[in-house]
Chains A and B, each alone.
Chain A
Amino acid sequence: MIVLRRLASALPSIAGVIVVTFLLTRALPGDPAIYFAGPAATEQAIEEIRHKLGFDRSLPVQFVGYLKDLVHGNLGNSLSTGQPVSQELLTRLPASAELTFLALFLSVGIAVPLGIVAATRPGSWVDHTCRIVTTAGVSLPVFFTGLLLIYVFYYLVGWAPAPLGRLDIYNSAPPFRTGFYLIDSFIAGDFETFRAALAQLALPAFSMAIFSLAPLARVTRASMLAALGSDFVRTAKASGLSHSRVVYIYGFRNAVLPVITTLGMVFSFLLGANVLVEKVFAWPGIGSYAIEALIASDYAPVQGFVLIMALLYVLLNLAIDLIYGLVDPRVRFTA
């Protein structure tokens, strides 16, 4: 029931997104017809291209055409890569998602324990480490970390493979199941490809993890401090419960709600804003796709990208609400 209600409340936002992206992309400066006519085109050639692309028609007519296509699941064609947008997004989304999941996993794996330990021993060396790591994480731009990692681990030391996207050029992609190379190659039992894909993922995932560490570690530390200082923890301690039980069962379970909220934010942020990492590592993800399209005033991919991201946000918020319900029963009743 909650699921349905939540989904229904997302519909107006999606409709809004459709209208706004359509109008915004048209309001962009730059003329796609001129851009795609090439450097030596005449006025006439530009007009012909404008007509072919349908940009000489009025906005409402273009919008109705766009909606019709949308109903059929057709997001239009990208002019800069020449391919249907839906197909491009479908092949590129797993690339971004795989990278984001791994980065998020790494960062949760480091940030949450770090935050908990820092909170249980405030002022200790762990707490200071936590502070330094979070400060460094937010102050180093993610593309800089990426370039630095490439310079050290690929160029100088030679441990990492060439930053050439998802696979080394002599490997071929595993048969398509989920689009996640790690999972697909694992299912296919192709451990050579699994290893190659993992090696390609390591550096970009780490550079993103370093960046997303900071908010997670901070929120974990802060909310753990609050939880550990509260009455019920004091009562639990006074009742003679073990330290680990007090910290993990009573303290952490109550501190985890803000962490989940932050996790959702960090996730959506990473998915949409990892453009720079994708550029640096030649990663064929959706972020770099959207940016390239934007530079070329290529409307269809930009619209498609924003739409997909909006849908993902809706799903993400839904997932977070549901997880809330699992963690904190009160949410289920008040919703």
Chain B
Amino acid sequence: MRRREFLKTAAAGAVAAAYIRPVNAQARKDTLLTLSENGPNNIDIMGVGTNRPGYEVSWNTYDRLISYGVKKDENGNDHYDQSKMQGELAEDWNLTDSSVTFHLRKDAKFHDGTPVTANDVKWSFDRAVTVGGVPTFQMKAGSLEKAEQFVVVDDHTFRVDFIRADRLTMPDLAVPVPAVINSGLAKKHATDQDPWAMEWLKNNEAGGGAFKVDKWTPGQEVTYLRYDDWKSGPLPKLQRVIWRVVPSAGNRRALMERGDADISIDLPPKDVAEMAAGGKVAVVGSPIENALQYFDMNVKMAPFDKVKVRQAIAYAIPYQKIMDAAMFGRGKPMFGGPAKVTTTEWPQPSPYTTDLAKAKALLVEAGVGEGFETVLSFDLGAAVINEPLCELTQESLAQIGIKVTLNKVPGANWRAEFAKKTLPFSANVFGGWLDFPEYFFFWNYHGQNSIFNVASYQNPAMDKLIENAKFESDSAKYKQECIDFENLAFNDVPRIPLFQPLLDVAMQKNISGYRYWFTRQLDYRQLEKT
């Protein structure tokens, strides 16, 4: 009965109590409130199944040896500069054909005050190539495969020996995976079953980055404090960052427009377009590098085994309608380009446009002029984009006699579904961390048939071009090879490019210093509130 009495008084006060408390202005200025749809599941970048929000925590709380510089993108926004590598924990380095030697900062310390040494770097890199799963695989992408490659020269000198010349080795050292962990601290929590302290590092941060994790409440919130002793770059302006998980996109928008939150990612295209037009908050949309939204047609299944049928479909996609009605303009069109590719840039517009007469003619030439029936599958996890996109296509294809049934696959099953390679026709998206055309092609068009080659496209000429480009040292030849494989992809068209997705970030107008990173998450170090 006491609770009852208590709640009675509580309820009476409810209405009167509902107003927003004014908050200390100084605290607000130094504190950033950021929102997203999901939170991290693991703050160890080398953990089992660490999700993308987890990368954001690792990126801001751990240092890597090297990182990238900054440039302005085509819209004048800050963008990391892939062509300019710069030191983070390493002050400088010496790159030869067979190895690279890093000189570490002598004054750098981890959050617990212990100095960062080459032994910590070695332990961390050994861990990355040993634990298996995504981190090991990512290291391999840069030909970093064995613990013997990592050599401690002295306390502040660290060497990586190459097992082969690979253009991606240096860039791969600047991705989130090779983060430098406080090995002394981590080893204290290692056990016989768990020599790499996977369990402990999952929930505890042992880094030396610009921010330290103050408190993490899974599924709800991460709070950070600035690490004032950070030496690997200019001290961040923000003293505190609060990251709240707000599952409802409508609420994230309301919080932004009311001015209660500072920055939000993961917003649907419609909301972003309306917020950008509304002018209450600033919206930055950066094309996601090496990413493409597309349709795949399985070349092993009739009638998509005929190149003319694939071309016919490519001419029957309602491209502009998709951009307007499904994407609200939040994407970079990848259609209506020149007839022949002349630059290595990727992704770049395909030569296809919406031309139903041409599509019909191609179908007749291919001997299926009367049309056919097929099933178009898509991921319900990204239904906001996929559903209108597929419905518009269904409508357009009906006009040339192709009857399309939609197959909606729940998010958790999507990967397993398309990995089977039994989907005749599907909508999908791919993005690579490393921004090189041959990296994209290796995953998506190569005859090794990786799971992303959903079209099961296998062409020896294509494989040869991709392989040559991967290890090419002559830049003129490399350029020609890239142009050739891009042309081949457009001509054989197992995949129809639609658009390059944007990474949309909404922020208050007093926020400056936002920088696009390939992790597609926020870097708090450059952000500032005025």
Q: Which A residues fall within an 8 A CB radius of B?
A: 29-32, 34-45, 48-49, 52-53, 78-83, 88, 101-102, 105-106, 109, 147, 150-151, 153-155, 158-165, 168-170, 182-183, 186, 195-196, 198-199, 201-202, 205, 279-282, 284, 288-289, 292, 295-297
Identity of the chain A residue whose Cβ is nearest the Cβ of B43 in the assembled complex: A82
Stretch at the interface among B254-262, B313-321, B468-476, B496-504: B254-262
Total residues of chain B contacting the partner, CB 8 A: 66
* B203/A83 in contact, CB under 8 A: yes
CA–CA, A150 and B250, complex, Å:
10
* B218/A30 in contact, CB under 8 A: no
Given that A41-B133, A43-B451, A198-B10 are contacting pairs, would A150 and B251 also be in contact in the complex, using a CB cutoff of 8 Å? yes
* A40/B137 in contact, CB under 8 A: yes
Identity of the chain B residue whose Cβ is nearest the Cβ of A147 in the assembled complex: B250
* A102/B18 in contact, CB under 8 A: no
- Let me know if B49 is at the binding interface, CB within 8 A: yes
Known: A37-B49, A170-B21. 12 other contacts (CB 8 A): A30-B413, A37-B134, A38-B50, A40-B433, A42-B450, A45-B134, A109-B11, A161-B19, A169-B33, A195-B17, A199-B14, A205-B14
Q: Which B residues fall within an 8 A CB radius of A?
A: 3-4, 6-8, 10-11, 13-15, 17-21, 23, 27, 33, 39-42, 47-51, 132-134, 136-138, 202-203, 217-221, 242, 244-248, 250-251, 254-255, 257-258, 260-261, 410-413, 415-416, 419, 432-433, 443, 450-451
CA–CA, A106 and B8, complex, Å:
9
* A196/B219 in contact, CB under 8 A: no
The smallest C-beta distance from A262 to any residue of chain B, in angstroms, reads: 18
Contact residues in A for B217 (Cβ distance below 8 Å)? 284
* A295/B411 in contact, CB under 8 A: yes
Contact residues in B for A158 (Cβ distance below 8 Å)? 20, 258
Checking B134, B254, B411, B433 against A150 with a beta-carbon cut-off of 8 angstroms, the contacting residue is B254
Contact residues in B for A160 (Cβ distance below 8 Å)? 18
* A102/B10 in contact, CB under 8 A: yes
Checking A34, A155, A202, A289 against B14 with a beta-carbon cut-off of 8 angstroms, the contacting residue is A202
Given that A82-B41, A155-B257 are contacting pairs, would A35 and B133 also be in contact in the complex, using a CB cutoff of 8 Å? no
CA–CA, A154 and B10, complex, Å:
21
- Interface SS majority for chain A: helix
A-B pairs with beta carbons under 8 Å apart, 5 shown:
A31-B416, A32-B412, A162-B258, A183-B3, A199-B18
Interface centre among B17, B39, B411 (most CB of A within 10 A): B17
* B11/A168 in contact, CB under 8 A: no
Given that A159-B18, A282-B246 are contacting pairs, would A34 and B132 also be in contact in the complex, using a CB cutoff of 8 Å? no
Identity of the chain B residue whose Cβ is nearest the Cβ of A162 in the assembled complex: B260
Q: What are the nearest 6 A-B pairs in CB distance?
A: A36-B49, A30-B412, A81-B218, A48-B132, A162-B260, A202-B14
Contact residues in A for B19 (Cβ distance below 8 Å)? 159, 161, 199
Given that A36-B48, A52-B48, A155-B258 are contacting pairs, would A282 and B134 also be in contact in the complex, using a CB cutoff of 8 Å? no
* B14/A49 in contact, CB under 8 A: no
Checking A79, A202, A295 against B15 with a beta-carbon cut-off of 8 angstroms, the contacting residue is A202
